[in-house]
Amino acid sequence: MEGVTIITDARAITCNPRAHSGRLSIVVRNGRIADLSPNARLLLSLYPGAQTIDARNKLVIPGFVNAHFQSESLLLKEFTTGRPVSLWGEDVRIQERLARLVDPACVEDLRALYLMAYFNHLRNGTTCVGEFPPMVDSKGLLTLLQAMKRTDVKSVVTLQSWDQINGAREIPADRQKFALSIGRETDFTVYTFQSFSRAAKEMNIPLTAHVAEQKEDVEAVKRNFQKGTVGLLRDFKVLQPPTILVHLNHAGEEEIALAAESGCALVLCARSAAMKRTGYPSLRHMAAHDIPLCIGTDWGSMDMLEEMRFISQLPLLFAGMPTFTPLEILSMATTNGADALGLGNEVGSIAQGKKADLVFFDLNGLRGDLLDENPSEEAMASFLLNHLSVRDIAEVMIDGVFRVSGGHVLAMPEEEIIAGYRKTVEKFSLIGPAPPPPVAGTAKPQQELHPKIIPFVASDRVVSEPDGFEEGFTVVDKPAAEPQEPPAPAPKPAPPPSQPQDRNVLKPELSKNVRKVFGDDDDPAG
């Protein structure tokens, strides 16, 4: 039958409570899942002449949904890994590279970056991404959207400036999905809440709120508004679906309860939080409430399976951490993420009528014998989490078409993707002055460093903490600081050329184009 493909006898996890998991055959027609059955012969008789794909030695799951990711992290992770995010703004190397990336003259570098990031998403089994882009202008926004579209990975892109908003208004809603950031907690004002809410309502898009990622941000909100961030969002009527909450590393039990009552989805970025040293999601409070949790890799990683494994291993490291089952964690990485991004009717599970976005893991070899011929859903999820990696992904299907086959992307030569990105990395490596060479005879002997020992603590100690569970352990045996002469003040770098984001970033002050954005311009030609 023309236009119909039957994937036969796969071990499939549907992530759909209304659909059977196990040995399944899947009918794909016109890019969507048309039928499911454990009886392959029945489907073959119902769809005579259909193309067939033997998946007996494959584990098939829905495509991963990475609910929060920042692509510029690929270029910056060399300078940010292991450094507290609170110090990034003071690092000239990071700031100069960010300025270069959003420069309108560097759109080809932006394109190379996004091709590299999104083809890696695709190769790693991610078929939908919640993208938080850099502060590019409308031309840069169009450039990165074109690069993302080349990979066929679906996305919801969060807008951060009026320039981006104006550019997004020209793009039909059926071609690209958007969300709108409410800005940094340190920049919150009454005007920002009102203007963001109005713009999002006008465009019929959700709001994205970075909430309590850093303790400094939480303290700033309390100083300015005498309440926590979650309570502030509630008071300004922002804490309601479809608003997307991200992080909640430093939210206490009361604020977690407010978030649960709101019905808003929450994106966990636990592994990224560890790398950025911002604290961790308050999972012990979240587990006590019915909050729809989903997963984002956030910074520097595109490996959703590794992110899932990190969450599953946290209870082994920290007393009092809640334990999620492998199936619950897989749901966070698929159907919950799709629901959070507003795409739950299209992707996130293997169900009739949804897009055929599927990931095929190869079970050939010794490990395949560890999984029964007719395994349960829980057994397959556990096998996925404990025995497989993204290197075992053989095929990725989007809209019923294979975009990865034999472990290689098909839409564009991998050599071309790598070569373009390598040129960008080489150019960015030349940004900024090189460190001064050491002066002979002035080097001080380095202090001997001892490993920092982080002891386990009692579970009651952890549960009593109001903030992220990083507060539940203490670093001991810290070597005494060697007295040093105060360093000479470093010369301030020359200010970079004026950037478009300086003009377009959403600020408390009324910008010149506010009336235009909200459709209130008196000039009909405006």
The CATH number for 374's domain is 2.30.40.10
| CATH number of the domain residue 150 falls in | 3.20.20.140
Residues 131 and 261 in one domain: yes
pLDDT of 510 strictly over 60: no
- By C-alpha distance, which of 519, 525, 503 is closest to 137? 503
**Radius of gyration, alpha carbons of the chain:** 25
pLDDT of 521 strictly over 50: no
Burial of 259 (0-12, 13-18, 19+ CB in 10 A): buried
Kindly report whether the peptide bond that precedes residue 497 is cis, defined as omega within 30 degrees of 0.
no
Segments of 419-526 assigned E as strands: none
Q: Find all residues with CB under 8 Å of 342, minimum gap 6, and list them.
A: 156, 177, 206, 242
pLDDT of 325 strictly over 80: yes
Q: What per-residue confidence (pLDDT) applies to 279?
A: 84
394 within a domain of the structure (yes/no): yes
Q: Find all residues with CB under 8 Å of 376, minimum gap 6, and list them.
A: 21, 22
pLDDT of 511 strictly over 90: no
**Which of these three, 305, 340, 375, is where a domain ends?**
340
pLDDT of 367 strictly over 80: no
Mean predicted confidence (pLDDT) in 447-463: 38
Q: What per-residue confidence (pLDDT) applies to 457?
A: 36
**Higher per-residue confidence, 82 vs 329:** 329
Residues 314 and 357 in one domain: no
270 within a domain of the structure (yes/no): yes
Residues 182 and 313 in one domain: yes
376 within a domain of the structure (yes/no): yes
**Side chain identity at 105, as an amino acid letter?**
A
Mean predicted confidence (pLDDT) in 274-278: 90
Q: What per-residue confidence (pLDDT) applies to 453?
A: 37
- By C-alpha distance, which of 79, 454, 82 is closest to 276? 82
Q: What per-residue confidence (pLDDT) applies to 280?
A: 79
Q: What per-residue confidence (pLDDT) applies to 14?
A: 98
Lowest mean pLDDT among 27-36, 233-242, 304-313, 314-323: 314-323
Q: What per-residue confidence (pLDDT) applies to 520?
A: 46
Q: Tokens for 401, please give them.
A: 């078409």
pLDDT of 448 strictly over 70: no
pLDDT of 507 strictly over 60: no
Residues 265 and 172 in one domain: yes
**Which of these three, 409, 436, 453, is where a domain ends?**
409
Q: Under a CB-based contact definition with an 8 Å cutoff, are residues 394 and 407 in contact?
A: yes
* Confidence class for position 432, pLDDT limits 50, 70, 90: low
| H or E element in which residue 92 lies | helix 92-101
448 within a domain of the structure (yes/no): no
- CA-angle at 389, arms to 267 and 68, nearest 5°: 20
pLDDT of 436 strictly over 50: no
Lowest mean pLDDT among 144-153, 254-263, 279-288, 343-352: 279-288
* Confidence class for position 512, pLDDT limits 50, 70, 90: very low
Q: Which residue has the tokens 């507290």?
A: 84
What is the spatial distance between Cα 56 and Cα 9, in angstroms, rounded to a whole number? 5
Question: What is the number of domains present in the chain?
Answer: 2
Q: What per-residue confidence (pLDDT) applies to 146?
A: 97
| Cα–Cα distances in angstroms (integers) from residue 405 to residues 11, 106, 271, 359, in the given order | 18, 32, 29, 11
Residues 56 and 122 in one domain: no
pLDDT of 469 strictly over 60: no
- By C-alpha distance, which of 23, 21, 32 is closest to 55? 23
| H or E element in which residue 12 lies | strand 4-12
Residue 416's Cβ-side half-sphere holds a number of Cα atoms within 13 Å equal to 7
Residues 301 and 205 in one domain: yes
Residue 246's Cβ-side half-sphere holds a number of Cα atoms within 13 Å equal to 29
Q: What is the 3-state secondary structure (H, E, C) of 253-306?
A: HHHHHHHHHHCCEEEECHHHHHHHCCCCCCHHHHCCCCCCEEECCEECCCCHHH
315 within a domain of the structure (yes/no): yes
**Which of these three, 279, 311, 340, is where a domain ends?**
340
Q: What per-residue confidence (pLDDT) applies to 479?
A: 45
pLDDT of 211 strictly over 90: yes
| H or E element in which residue 440 lies | none
pLDDT tens figures, 46-55: 999 999 999 9
pLDDT of 522 strictly over 90: no
- By C-alpha distance, which of 292, 269, 291, 290 is closest to 280? 269
82 within a domain of the structure (yes/no): yes
Residues 158 and 170 in one domain: yes
231 within a domain of the structure (yes/no): yes
Q: Under a CB-based contact definition with an 8 Å cutoff, are residues 334 and 293 in contact?
A: no
pLDDT tens figures, 23-67: 999 999 999 999 999 999 999 999 999 999 999 999 999 999 999
Q: Find all residues with CB under 8 Å of 395, minimum gap 6, and list them.
A: 58, 359, 360, 402, 404, 405, 406
pLDDT of 333 strictly over 70: yes
Segments of 38-84 assigned E as strands: 51-54, 58-62, 64-70
What is the spatial distance between Cα 56 and Cα 367, in angstroms, rounded to a whole number? 14
pLDDT tens figures, 123-179: 999 999 999 999 999 999 999 999 999 999 999 999 999 999 999 999 999 999 999
Residues 357 and 217 in one domain: no
How far out from the chain centre does Cα 340 lie?
A: 12
**Higher per-residue confidence, 209 vs 437:** 209
Residues 268 and 140 in one domain: yes
Residues 188 and 317 in one domain: yes
- Residues 140-171 as b/e (b if ≥16 CB within 10 A, e otherwise) read bbbbbbebbebbbbbbbbbbbbbbbbbbbbee
Q: What per-residue confidence (pLDDT) applies to 440?
A: 52
Torsion of CA 112, 401, 298, 509, to 10 degrees: 70
Q: What per-residue confidence (pLDDT) applies to 123?
A: 97
pLDDT of 487 strictly over 60: no
Lowest mean pLDDT among 7-21, 103-117, 223-237, 477-491: 477-491
N- to C-terminal Cα separation, the chain: 53
- By C-alpha distance, which of 286, 279, 237 is closest to 262? 237
To the question of pTM greater than 0.85 for the whole model, the response is no
pLDDT of 68 strictly over 90: yes
Residues 358 and 254 in one domain: no
Q: What per-residue confidence (pLDDT) applies to 433?
A: 53
Q: Which domain holds residue 253?
A: 64-340
29 within a domain of the structure (yes/no): yes
pLDDT of 513 strictly over 70: no
* Confidence class for position 505, pLDDT limits 50, 70, 90: very low
Residues 226 and 336 in one domain: yes
